[in-house]
Structure 1
Amino acid sequence: MIVTVTPNPSLDHTVEVDSLRRGEVLRAGPSRLDPGGKGVNVARALAAHGRKTAAVLFAGGADGRRLTELLDEQGVAVRQVPIDGDTRTNITLAEPDGVVTKLNLPGPRCSDADAEALLQAALGACEDGTVWLAGCGSLPPGAPRDTYARLVRRGHEAGLRVAVDSSGAALDRSLTAGPDLVKPNREELAACAGMPVHTLGDAVVAARVLRSRGAQTVLASLGPDGAVLVDDGAALHGEAPVPVARSTVGAGDALLAGFLAAGGAGRDALARALAWGAAAAALPGSRMPAPADVARIGVTIHPSVDADRELKE
């Protein structure tokens, strides 16, 4: 079982537009409403593949109830923690060429007591057979910056492996607790390591900086350049081309879900992660891929990392 923790979940409203033009009235195409937030997406991807999972999250107001209903419809077990205010709504504008514009609202304010209740619920959701606890996404306004560091420490005390997928101070502080896995994207990796990441070699060096600060394994998603995996062994690089990208929203979350579902270590886990992530990018909105979607994706794990290869902008 894999338990995800999402301190700042959302309702994701995706609208397709022919072209995004500022200051004009646009005719919208199809739209969809999905449960959102990084940990929520990880749980959705796992559930779509028949993996046992539970999503622990804050839920507030009518939007929080709707979020829980949508997750229930997708077969995701939810452990909700009440919070004052309404669960946020994020708006995504998707263009036909795959360009996505997101408007992310801040979410309800979180007190220290709220954060403690979330951590207790996360540990309470872990049953016998739980192997991973994954803290994912941004922290809501007011949440202690060491929330994920506390999650890592308590997870380790309970004998669990703990993954963190976040950014900024939340990711930075989590490293002090020694997470078993962190999954930054390119921008988050560069910011946390304090160095530019222009090539695959830069990505590997930056990942090793994060390892020197406490992370055991770094899975860095690099968009169209795939992902690099850096742990105690040799660094690995792999990629999975997306024939037609529909939306990158949630692709990194699907990548993390695939990696954890395959055991959270090694070449095979990296290959599954890339397949799930690419499959998500080929779907509209923040849909998570099912097995049939993943079956159409080809994956290449390269024999070595081409350190001089420049990353696409």
Structure 2
Amino acid sequence: MITTVTLNAAIDKTYYVHSFISGEVHRVARQVAEPGGKGNNVAKVIRLLGGKVTASGFIAGNNGTFIEAGLQARGIDTAFIAANGESRVCLNIMDESSGLSTELLEQGPAVGRSQIAQLKQNLLGLARDSSIVVLSGSLPPGAPAELYAELISIVKTAGARAYLDTSGIAFSAGIEAKPHFVKPNEHELAVWLGKVSLTENESIEAAHKLSDEGISQVCVTLGERGTIAVIDGQGFRVNLPMIQAVNTVGCGDSFVAGMAYSESRGDSPAERLRIATAAAAANAMSERAGHIEDDVFQRFLHQVKVVPL
């Protein structure tokens, strides 16, 4: 089994408008609402790939009920801790004339010490029954910066492999606990190094640095340019198929899902990267975050190129 942890769950709502202009009134042509938050997106794609997955973390209020019910309807087991208030809404406004996306992300409800203690106890039991635990997304208000590091230690103590996908101070603190997998994008990696941007060679060097520090799988996503990966010391360059993306929200989560699902099956590093990249590309062709169609996924699976460095 794979467990996902979403500390700041959300309803991912997408509005499609003909042309979005700031300060104007717009009529929404159509809308999509999905149970979201990065870990929940990971869970959705793992399930679509055929994996057994349990979604956990924090949810709150009526929005939390919507999130949990939506995941359960997809065949995903849930083990959430209730927080006070309402889980957040993350709004994505898609301008269909330009293809540009504008995102408005709520903060989410605050969590306290007792809820964090409940989460840790819950996670220990889930990790004992899991091969992989995926920790994804931003920290909620009230959570300490080192929370991911503490959760990684719990996962490792239980004998599972910890995947970490976050950014900023949560990423910097989290990697100190040596997770099994990390997936910074090139901007997040640059911030960690205290730089504005990185060349591709600098990204490769940084990925090897993280690998040398004890992180078995480091994947640096480069958007439409593909991925640089270092897995157990071996470098890889992954090239994407040519696509015209419909929606990029959830692509990184789909990549993480593909890596976790493929590793749980015992696939080779190159095969993990191929499945993860095809899942990310398939998500980009869907209007729904954290969603892939099998025929699209299978088509991209044969187009992804993984080249050893």
CA 1:61/1:74 → structure 2, altered by over 3 Å: closer, same or farther?
Answer: same
**Letter paired with 2:38:** K
Paired residue type of 1:182 = V
Matched, 1:274 2:277: yes
- What displacement does 1:279 show? 0.6
Q: How does 1:147-186 map to 2 (within 5 A)?
A: 147-186=147-186
Query: Which residue number in structure 2 is paired with residue 29 of structure 1?
Result: 29
Aligned pairs for 1:40-189 (under 5 A) are 40-96=40-96, 97-126=98-127, 128=129, 130-189=130-189
Q: Distance in 2 between matches of 1:123 and 1:291?
A: 33
SS in structure 2 at match of 1:122 = helix
What SS does structure 1 have at the residue aligned with 2:263? coil
8 A contact 1:251–1:277 mirrored in 2: yes
Point out 4+ residue stretches in structure 1 off by more than 4 angstroms. Answer: none
Aligned to 2:228: 228
Write the distance in 2 (CA, Å) between the matches of 1:48 and 1:244. 22
Q: What is the CA–CA distance in structure 1 between the aligned matches of 2:122 and 2:200, rounded to whole Å?
A: 39
Q: Percent identity of the aligned residues?
A: 33
- 1:229, 1:180 → 2: CA distance? 13
**More displaced, 16-25 or 56-65?**
16-25
Task: Pick closer, same or farther for the CA change 1:19–1:131 going to 2, 3 Å.
Answer: same
Return closer, same or farther for 1:105/1:164 CA change in 2, 3 Å cut-off. same
Q: What is the identity, as a one-letter code, of the residue corresponding to 2:167?
A: S
- Report the more deviating stretch, 32-41 or 214-223: 214-223
Give the letter aligned to residue 285 of structure 1.
R
Structure 2 unaligned blocks of 5 or more: none
Instruction: Give the C-alpha shift of residue 242 in structure 1.
Output: 4.5
Q: Distance in 1 between matches of 2:282 and 2:108?
A: 29
Residue of structure 2 in register with 1:309 after alignment: none
Answer whether contact 1:49 1:290 (CA < 8 A) is retained.
no
Q: Name the CA shift for 1:282/1:242 in 2 (closer, same or farther; >3 Å).
A: farther
Q: Measure, in 1, the Cα distance between the counterparts of 2:80 and 2:133.
A: 16
Give, in angstroms, the shift of residue 284 of structure 1.
Answer: 0.7
Any idea what the Cα deviations from partners look like across 1:202-242, whole Å, max 9, x if unmatched? 21122233335553321111110111111333311112235
Amino acid in the other structure paired with 1:54: T
| Alignment counterpart, residue 294 of structure 2, candidates 284, 291, 295 | 291
The letter for the 2-side match of 1:42 is: V
Letter in 1 for 2:234: A
Distance in structure 2 (CA, Å) of the matches to 1:25 and 1:179: 46
Which 10-residue stretch deviates more, 240-249 or 51-60?
240-249
3-state DSSP class of the match of 1:142?
Answer: coil
Map 1:218-257; keep pairs closer than 5 Å: 218-257=218-257
8 Å contact kept, 1:276–1:294: yes
The CA deviation at 1:122 is: 1.9
Unaligned runs of 5+ in 1: 305-313
Residue 292 (structure 1) shift:
2.1
The one-letter code matched in structure 2 to 1:87 is S
In structure 2, relative to structure 1, the CA distance for the partners of 1:50 and 1:7 (3 Å cut) is: same
Q: How many residue pairs get matched?
A: 303
Q: In the aligned structure 2, how far is the partner of 1:198 from the partner of 1:241?
A: 23
- Residue 19 of structure 1 deviates from its aligned partner by 2.2
User: Counterparts of 1:18 and 1:106 in 2: how far apart (Å)?
Assistant: 28
Cα RMSD (Å)? 1.7
Cα distance in 2 between the residues matched to 1:254 and 1:82: 26
Preserved contact between residue 53 and residue 76 of structure 2 (Cα < 8 Å):
yes
The answer as to whether partners of 1:149 and 1:174 remain within 8 angstroms in 2 is yes
Partner of 1:301: 306
CA distance in structure 1 between the aligned counterparts of 2:7 and 2:247, rounded to whole angstroms: 23
CA contact (8 A) 2:12 2:91 kept: yes
After superposing the two structures, state which structure 1 stretch, 100-109 or 20-29, moved more. 20-29
Letter in 2 for 1:34: E
Q: Secondary structure at the match of 2:187?
A: helix
Q: 1:170 deviation in Å?
A: 1.0
